[in-house]
Structure 1
Amino acid sequence: MAYPRFLCAALCATCLTFPLNAGESCIEDAIIVFDGSGSMSEMGFNDLDEPRIFEARRALRRAIPDIAPFRRLGLVIYGPGPEEACHNIDLRFAPQANAAPRLLAEVEALRPSGDTPLTAAVGRAAAALGAPSEPGTVVLVTDGKETCGGAPCQLAAELAADAPGLTVHVIGFKVRGEYFSWGSQGGSDYTETTTIAQCLADQTGGKYVSTETVDELVAALQDTLGCKLIGGLRVGPLPRG
């Protein structure tokens, strides 16, 4: 189909005007690894006015509907479940098109409980994406703890060596230190830390983003899962049979 000369010129000018954003290309499938452990329901200390899960849900409701039309998304949740505490890692669904309704429904129904096998959960997501032979993107959303004896930095080294096409981004959400004390003025003192899982991002070419608010979590999800923009147009995923 032939396009008018002025339209071609306008499109070319637009492509030159708008740079690519910092997000991934959308050609690769992605899996969100979501922290559903008991700590996501904590409140009343460590400067948490409400459970982390409430704000995380609001952030997902804002971010995912704009991402899902352009990238196949899957979901792994760790924490709650019928198995022994550290074995509750559930691949809720593999990457699929237009996954927003299902993903949001799964997180809305989630009742946080259990321990935090985040290392094994990232490994499960990597395998579901086809690692080590297939490329993919894992986005881990966590409050920072690993309570099941996993070694995230060892996994990071293995993924970096054996699965060069896999990128792991880590979003730390309201990460807090292990120790809590009362300040001299009656307020709370806490030590903010980066999550132990940061090395998963550092060693696989991903990003580590520390977030405290809903707005920051939305921005982090958009940055790690969003598509490249050319002239304001998203680069969509490749067709799949």
Structure 2
Amino acid sequence: MKKILIQQLFITTLMLGLSHNALAEDKKPATDSTPRQSTMIILDGSNSMWGQLQGINKIVTARESLKTLLENAHGNINFGLLTYGNKKKSCNDFTLVSKPEDYDKKKMLRNIRKMNPRGRSPIADALKQAAKNLPAENAHILLVSDGEESCGGDPCAVAKELRQSNPGLQIDVIGFRDEKEAQLECIAENGNGAFVVADNTERLKTLLDGVQAKARTIVNVTGTPVDGNLPGSIEVSIKSTHTGGTPSRANFSIYRPDGSNIASFTSRIQVKEYLEPGEYRVKAQWKGQSYTNKVIVQSGKTSTLRFDASQSGMLRLSSLNSNKEAVKANYSVYLANGDFISRHVHQDNVDLRIPADEYRIKADFDGTIQEKNISIEPNVDNNHVFRFE
């Protein structure tokens, strides 16, 4: 009997020990060597964050956006938090709430909820401070701000410097619709990141999902991301031998397959945009030239599209009526595969510089339509006259 009691006591002690170890394991932070994305969130605490966007305080929108991001992250990201402007009206008002390696979701959400905007906007120094707390690999900054630098720094230049010192760094920006968003766009552009305005709920959601998809790809380096429905991204630029082969400033537009516009960008050297997996059409306009191409976006991956403006020719269109008089007409230009390039309404003539390729051109005069297939050759003027007889 005594032997049985001793055996039972041993088993009970063993079970309690196992239970204790299991609980202890639950409390321990992950110590495996799996690579993770480290994201430093920079949250604007300047007084202007009390302003409203569509009737809602900007700081409220910022809190909700970050809450969505943190609550939907699946353990692939270590988040850190840096705030500025929320304690005093000083250009030295920075608070490193937590580093990525010390990430605690509940604690971070509490700190975000307690954010009380009141100060200034030292964005340039905030970017530097955030970068100091990131590892060399898989580094990411998410800036949430409504305004421009107010402490004499140049955050656009700082973003460029940070990328030069760490080419793997990416800086995404969530901004707010006002006259000061150009600087925030520049930060994203120089940081090889995306810029979205907080009131564009569709693009905002895609950006937040895209941050997660990027992290999942880092973890699952040997195959496809866990969730194939999470967004990927595209990087778009244009170059020409006339500018030494370096990317040039141009206007870019991204379209869905049905032709509806997702986003347009003015005078950008490079554009990065998070998109749901699928096929899209991208259009670039540079020095009177229009370029278009399709791009396939895959979950968690970045698709690169580089337009080459080196080879182009001039297309000139005009129309004559039955009396051989010049008339105004509507013109449309398509690639031979049917991709739309441009439309010109009620014009005497059209002068359009476009890349060397095969095209289909169309003219509409008083409801009568004529079409023509035409080849554009490099550095050659191509003239076509539609004759409506």
TM normalised by structure 1 equals 0.68
Equivalent position to 2:145, from 137, 142, 149: 142
Q: Could you report, residue by residue, the CA deviation over 1:112-135 in whole angstroms, capped at 9, with x for unpaired residues?
A: 1101111111110001114xx555
Cα-to-partner distance string for 1:135-165 (whole Å, 9 max, x where unaligned): 5111111113211111012212211222212
Corresponding position: 1:224 with 2:211: yes
Q: Secondary structure at the match of 1:197?
A: helix
Name stretches of at least 5 consecutive residues in structure 2 with no aligned partner: 1-34, 218-223, 231-389
- Offset at 1:109? 0.6
Give the whole-Å Cα distance in 1 for the aligned partners of 2:202 and 2:69: 10
Larger radius of gyration: 2
- The 1-side partners of 2:226 and 2:163 are apart by 33
CA distance in 2, matches of 1:104, 1:137: 19
Number of residue pairs aligned between Structure 1 and Structure 2: 188
- TM-score for the superposition, normalised by structure 2: 0.44
- TM-superposed deviation, 1:58: 2.0
1:71 Cα offset (Å): 0.7
- Counterpart position of 1:112: 117
State the partner residue of 2:284: none
Matches within 5 A, 1:1-241: 27-43=36-52, 48-67=54-73, 69-82=75-88, 85-96=90-101, 99-130=104-135, 133-172=136-175, 174-177=176-179, 194-212=181-199, 216-226=203-213, 227-228=216-217, 230-232=225-227
Q: Distance in 1 between matches of 2:196 and 2:144?
A: 10
Bigger drift between 106-115 and 219-228 goes to 219-228
Distance in 1 of aligned mates of 2:209 and 2:182:
20
Shift of 1:214: 5.5
Contact 1:34–1:75 (Cα < 8 Å) also in 2: yes
The answer (yes or no) to whether the contact 1:164–1:204 under 8 Å persists in 2 is: no
Give the drift of 1:70.
2.0
Q: Deviations over 1:99-121 (max 9, x none)?
A: 32122111101111101111111
- Paired amino acid for 2:39: A
| In structure 2, C-alpha distance between the alignment counterparts of 1:50 and 1:135, rounded to whole Å | 34
What do residues 198-220 of structure 1 show as CA deviations (whole Å, max 9, x unaligned)?
22221232222223155654432
Question: Residue type matched to 2:85 in 1?
Answer: G
Amino acid at match of 2:149: E
In structure 2, do the counterparts of structure 1 residues 58 and 153 end up closer, same or farther at CA, with 3 Å as the change threshold? closer
Aligned pair in 2 of structure 1 residues 134, 58: CA closer, same or farther (>3 Å)?
A: closer
Rate the CA distance shift 1:102–1:159 in 2: closer, same or farther, 3 A: same
**One-letter identity of the residue aligned with 1:230:** P
Query: Identity of aligned pairs, percent?
Result: 27
Compare the two structures and name the one with the higher helix fraction.
Answer: 1
Greater RCO structure (CA 8 Å; 6+ sep): 1
Measure, in 2, the Cα distance between the counterparts of 1:231 and 1:31.
Answer: 23
Name the CA distance, whole Å, in 2 between partners of 1:218 and 1:103: 20
Compared with structure 1, are the counterparts of its residues 218 and 103 closer, same or farther at alpha carbon in structure 2 (3 Å cutoff)? Answer: farther
Q: Is the 8 A contact 2:76 2:212 kept in 1?
A: no
Q: 1:104 to 1:216 in 2, by over 3 A?
A: farther
Name whichever structure is richer in strand by fraction: 2
Equivalent residue letter for 1:146:
E
Q: CA RMSD in A?
A: 2.6
